[in-house]
Structure 1
Amino acid sequence: MTGGGGAGGPASRVYVEVAGRVDERSFRQMQEDVERSADQAGERAGGALSGKFGAALSALPGLALATGAAVGAALIGAGKAALDIASQAQQGILDMQAQLGVTAETAAVLGDQAKEVFANNFGDSLAQANEMVIEVRKQMKGLKDDELGSVTSGVAALSDTFKTDLGETAQAANVLMEKFGLTSQEALDFVAKGLQDGLNNSGDFLGTISEYGVQFENGKVSASEFYSVLKTGQQAGALGTDKAADAFKEFTVRIQDGSKTTADSLKSIGIDSEALAKKMATGQVTTGEAFNLVIGKLREVKDQNQLMQAGTGLLGTQFEDLGKKGALALDTTKTKASDLDGATAKVNERYNTLGQLMQGAWRQVLLQLEPVGNLLLSLGNEAMPVVKAALTQLGPVVTQVITFLVNGFRQGREAAGQFAQQFGPQIERAVATVTPVVQAIGPLFKSVFTLIQTLWETVLKPVLTAVAPLVSGAVTTIGNVLNLVVRTVTGVVTAISSLLRGDLGGAVRAVEGIFGDMVTFAVRQFRNMASTLLGLIRNLAPDMAEAAGDILRGLIRGSVGDNFSSMSSQTGKINSRPHQA
């Protein structure tokens, strides 16, 4: 069966849009992510303050954020659940009207019965419970509308427990009600008992009831006698209940046909055919009683050939199919009506578990959310005309824009073609004129890039190499400063904690430690930075001055080529000097 979702029409589209973007899994994931982030933030803040009290305080914002996210996710999830259950309820009513041809009022009553089925934990969704009620209503037409909830729950329990088809189970129960005058509960008990006794081992029990019920009714056989024939045949080894029921059907035909074969067969086992026919005609003897009489006489026959001839003459080829043992075991008296009572209740005991109880409670909550979902769907319906009108107006605009772009592209392509035809020769001549100029400029660009490369090798690269230790020292200094800050904050917290505990000596030691760290850090960092800077100046200044002088002399002489060779020679001088960090 298909699951539900969507009430049809505009509201269903609103529901689908909401459900498509809002699912419980994504909200649970968001909630877990927020809680995890809040926990991590609380741990980091608590560690920095070095105290449980500080950790508790710093975690409060994260806790509030996580709680807010949880509440928000719960509210949105509840809204989705309300939309879902309301949509399925409304769709179910529409489906019932369409499939059963009932009025809206009757469909609403049937919808309430479906909710009862859903609340009883049958069906994966309210939509499936709606389908169950529709199917049972089709098969069991004699039911009152307010009985459908309980009867459908019973049929669903049998179908779920014994893995039978819901419609076939309902059809069998309906035959028992129509042909044998059973109540819906008695019919379900009949089916449940047969399934419990293994009468469906060959998979034909429900079909046998539907097919042969009318034959047993015509034979004035009660439901319990019908059951007895099926069970005794199955116990005697019959392959399925169909053969046993078919043997009884054949007997009901032959015992009333007045044929010579029937008369001779009855005479061979000691029964007066004319006397029996009169008693059956007046109702003194029912077909079921005549059947038991004949079976009893057949059991007394010793001659096996005579037994086979009489049995086949009265029960047809089914006597051979069942075999002598199976045919002679058929009996309408082995089952009483009371033997069938309460069978459905025993099936329902498997649903009396804590898990089923909790699931039923949750489904009750979902059903209570239906009014909220109806309100949301109503709002969606009210909004849809506006949305539809906006989309209607948007359509022509989009069409015009696309048409404009396509036409513009087409016209632009045509104009480009015309331009190429008209100005192509002029463009080619212009390119031919500019080409020598570009070729002449090439060497100039090469000289400029060569100069840039020489400047990098002789000046910039040595400078950056010399500055690198300074940068590294600065980064180390920044890390040491941050470390000092953390140690200072920790010392302050320790001092305050000591004061709160009344440990004045501990507080003094903590403060002394703070100032000691600061002084030691300042002296060490000043000394390191001064040493690095002095070494950099001493190392870099001569190289830069000499290189700058060479470049200046080259420019004064106006010979770039000479300058290149001069600067190249300086590269070796600079790189050969020892550098100190």
Structure 2
Amino acid sequence: KKFQAQTGASKEELAAFKAEMDDLYANNFGESLGDLGDKMAYVKQVTGEVDPSNIRKLVENAITLEDTFGSDFSETVRGVNNLMQHFGITSEEAFDLFARGSQLGLDYTGELGDNVAEYSGNFAQAGYSAEEYFQLLVNGSHNGAYNLDKVNDAINEAKNRLGDGSIGESIDLFSSSTKNLYAQWERGEATMKDVIESIVSDINSCTDEQDALTMAAAAFGTMGEDANLAVVGSLTSVGNELDDVNGKMDELKQQRYDDVQSQLEGLGRQIQMDVITPIAETLLPLLKDVISFVSSNLPALLPIIALFGATLAGAFVINGISNTISSIQNIIGLVQGLPSLLPILEGIKGAVSSLFGLIMAHPVVAVITVVIGAIVALYTKCEWFRDAVNAVLQSIGDFFTQVFEGMVVWFSETLPNAFAQFKDSLVDGWNRMCESLGQKWNDFWAKVKQIMDTIIGFVRDNWQGLLLLLVNP
């Protein structure tokens, strides 16, 4: 319902989204179904995607990065979406770049998704491909950039200085190759990326540090002045760390969730979705019907409940099955004054009377009936007695409330904690077993090696005698 409110999805669309949510949860993604609903709604809002299966893939991949690197889910989604929009790549290609880039340390300040969302359009406009953009980020971050924002800002500054003519005013500082590329860019025959990379090449090849710093300041402004030459010289897309990233996201998922803990948690969720949830969904309408009936007929039911409780308490004090039956019949007689229940009660009374007539004819039962009748009369007419009985009923109600609360705690805390301890014991036992088997294998192999070394040593030291024995047995 919350997902529908967040996205405006129709009732027909909800069935497909629910199926994807349930499957994601059963496969151990997300904190809860509510968490997955929020995440799918966010992805739908940000990307404009309408296919539930495609939204599910985006959510699954973003959660994997969140679980593996601590990446911010919403920033990752925005970054991936902007990569797709500005560079014209698929979500799979974008997530492969994010997975490999994160492995190379690009999220070292927790800002990869946010930076890509903010700057990817500028890099695409400057002529970089998505792979070249990420390679430049890797180069800058690996060569001392304080954070990714500094790397992105440096290129953005160079791009702005090209656009406003500042670099053109200082073009004589650079090589003839850079001057030619600048002229080609002005004619629309080269890209900003071509000019910027040629400038970086000039800075790297400059032997005079002061001249190199002057070129850096002319091209990158304050960013060039603040950064050291190692950082400025690394602002190029040259490199091969991101040449082949296809399938990196799938590979990351297999590595991240291939452990005993993840598999046990997934098994628990499958039991919840495939066993517990169907039972709950079957019982829920029945519970709703019971609650609705009680709520609608509460004024008529309260006197019956009170009389039944008082009579049943008296019957159990006398402690006999026949007494209980007599008490039930007595209740039926007392509530006959309720017109709406008369036809049903008359039938029940007749059935009970014919079935237990012999029992009710017993003198002891007659006495008990009189006693119970007196109790009921006291409850009806005597306020202090009625208050005492109500207090007893309240105590009984409180008792069952405590029992129910205890059951809730047991199912919500005790049982899950016991299961978690059992899971930890399995993992610990498995690790100890593996360690023990490994040690035994090492001991066995050491003994085999010792025996082989002894045999080899004996043959080496006595080979002449053995040879004589072979020749002259």
Instruction: State the 1:205 CA deviation.
Output: 2.1
Instruction: State the 1:148 CA deviation.
Output: 2.1
**1:280 aligns to 2:158 (yes or no):** no
Residue 272 of structure 2 aligns with which residue?
366
1:137 to 40, 44, 49: 44
2:230 to 306, 325, 344: 325
Question: Aligned ranges for residues 119-138 of structure 1 at < 5 Å?
Answer: 119-138=26-45
Letter paired with 2:139? T
Question: Aligned ranges for residues 516-555 of structure 1 at < 5 Å?
Answer: none
Residue 215 of structure 1 aligns with which residue?
122
TM-score by length of 2: 0.59
**Deviations 1:32-87 (Å, cap 9, x if unpaired)?**
xxxxxxxxxxxxxxxxxxxxxxxxxxxxxxxxxxxxxxxxxxxxxxxxxxxxxxxx
Structure 1 CA distance for aligned equivalents of residues 61 and 191 of structure 2:
33
Cα contact 1:199–1:240 (8 A) shared by 2: no
Cα contact 1:193–1:343 (8 A) shared by 2: yes
Letter paired with 1:166? F
CA RMSD, 1 decimal: 3.0
Letter paired with 1:222? S
Cα contact 2:27–2:270 (8 A) shared by 1: no
- Identity rate, percent: 26
Cα contact 2:61–2:249 (8 A) shared by 1: yes
> Secondary structure of the equivalent of 2:158?
helix
Letter paired with 2:156? K
Structure 2 CA distance for aligned equivalents of residues 241 and 373 of structure 1:
49
**Deviations 1:375-428 (Å, cap 9, x if unpaired)?**
222223434432332358889xxxxxxxxxxxx99xxxxxxxxxxxxxxxxxxx
Residue 96 of structure 1 aligns with which residue?
3
Residue 303 of structure 1 aligns with which residue?
208
> Secondary structure of the equivalent of 1:190?
helix
Instruction: State the 1:125 CA deviation.
Output: 2.9
> Secondary structure of the equivalent of 1:309?
helix
Residue 247 of structure 2 aligns with which residue?
342
Query: Which segment drifts farther, 158-167 or 301-310?
Result: 301-310
Letter paired with 1:380? L
In structure 1, the gaps of 5 or more residues are 1-93, 396-407, 410-581
Cα contact 1:227–1:335 (8 A) shared by 2: no
Cα contact 1:175–1:209 (8 A) shared by 2: yes
2:263 to 351, 354, 357: 357
Instruction: State the 1:237 CA deviation.
Output: 0.7
Do the aligned partners of residues 384 and 284 (structure 1) sit closer, same or farther apart at CA in structure 2, a change above 3 Å counting?
A: farther
Letter paired with 1:305? Q
2:171 to 239, 252, 266: 266
Structure 2 CA distance for aligned equivalents of residues 322 and 141 of structure 1:
39
Instruction: State the 1:231 CA deviation.
Output: 0.7
> Secondary structure of the equivalent of 1:302?
coil
> Secondary structure of the equivalent of 2:228?
helix
Structure 2 CA distance for aligned equivalents of residues 312 and 115 of structure 1:
55
Letter paired with 1:137? K
Cα contact 2:71–2:107 (8 A) shared by 1: no
Instruction: State the 1:202 CA deviation.
Output: 2.2
Residue 161 of structure 1 aligns with which residue?
68
- Matched residue pairs, number? 305
Structure 2 CA distance for aligned equivalents of residues 114 and 205 of structure 1:
27
Residue 405 of structure 2 aligns with which residue?
none
Instruction: State the 1:96 CA deviation.
Output: 0.7
Letter paired with 2:18? G
1:316 to 210, 215, 221: 221
Cα contact 1:229–1:245 (8 A) shared by 2: no
Residue 536 of structure 1 aligns with which residue?
none
Residue 12 of structure 1 aligns with which residue?
none
**Deviations 1:265-303 (Å, cap 9, x if unpaired)?**
222113488854552255431222221111112223333
Residue 191 of structure 1 aligns with which residue?
98
Instruction: State the 1:131 CA deviation.
Output: 2.8
Structure 2 CA distance for aligned equivalents of residues 252 and 149 of structure 1:
37
Residue 15 of structure 2 aligns with which residue?
108
Instruction: State the 1:373 CA deviation.
Output: 2.6
> Secondary structure of the equivalent of 2:60?
helix
Do the aligned partners of residues 213 and 125 (structure 1) sit closer, same or farther apart at CA in structure 2, a change above 3 Å counting?
A: same
Cα contact 2:175–2:202 (8 A) shared by 1: yes
> Secondary structure of the equivalent of 1:339?
coil
Question: Aligned ranges for residues 42-81 of structure 1 at < 5 Å?
Answer: none
Question: Aligned ranges for residues 156-555 of structure 1 at < 5 Å?
Answer: 156-258=63-165, 261-271=166-176, 276-277=181-182, 279-280=184-185, 283-335=188-240, 337-348=242-253, 349-369=255-275, 370-391=277-298
Greater relative contact order (Cα < 8 A, sep 6+): 1
Cα contact 1:117–1:150 (8 A) shared by 2: no
Do the aligned partners of residues 131 and 278 (structure 1) sit closer, same or farther apart at CA in structure 2, a change above 3 Å counting?
A: same
In structure 2, the gaps of 5 or more residues are 303-382, 385-473
Letter paired with 1:120? N
> Secondary structure of the equivalent of 2:89?
coil
**Deviations 1:6-46 (Å, cap 9, x if unpaired)?**
xxxxxxxxxxxxxxxxxxxxxxxxxxxxxxxxxxxxxxxxx
> Secondary structure of the equivalent of 1:122?
coil
**Deviations 1:439-473 (Å, cap 9, x if unpaired)?**
xxxxxxxxxxxxxxxxxxxxxxxxxxxxxxxxxxx
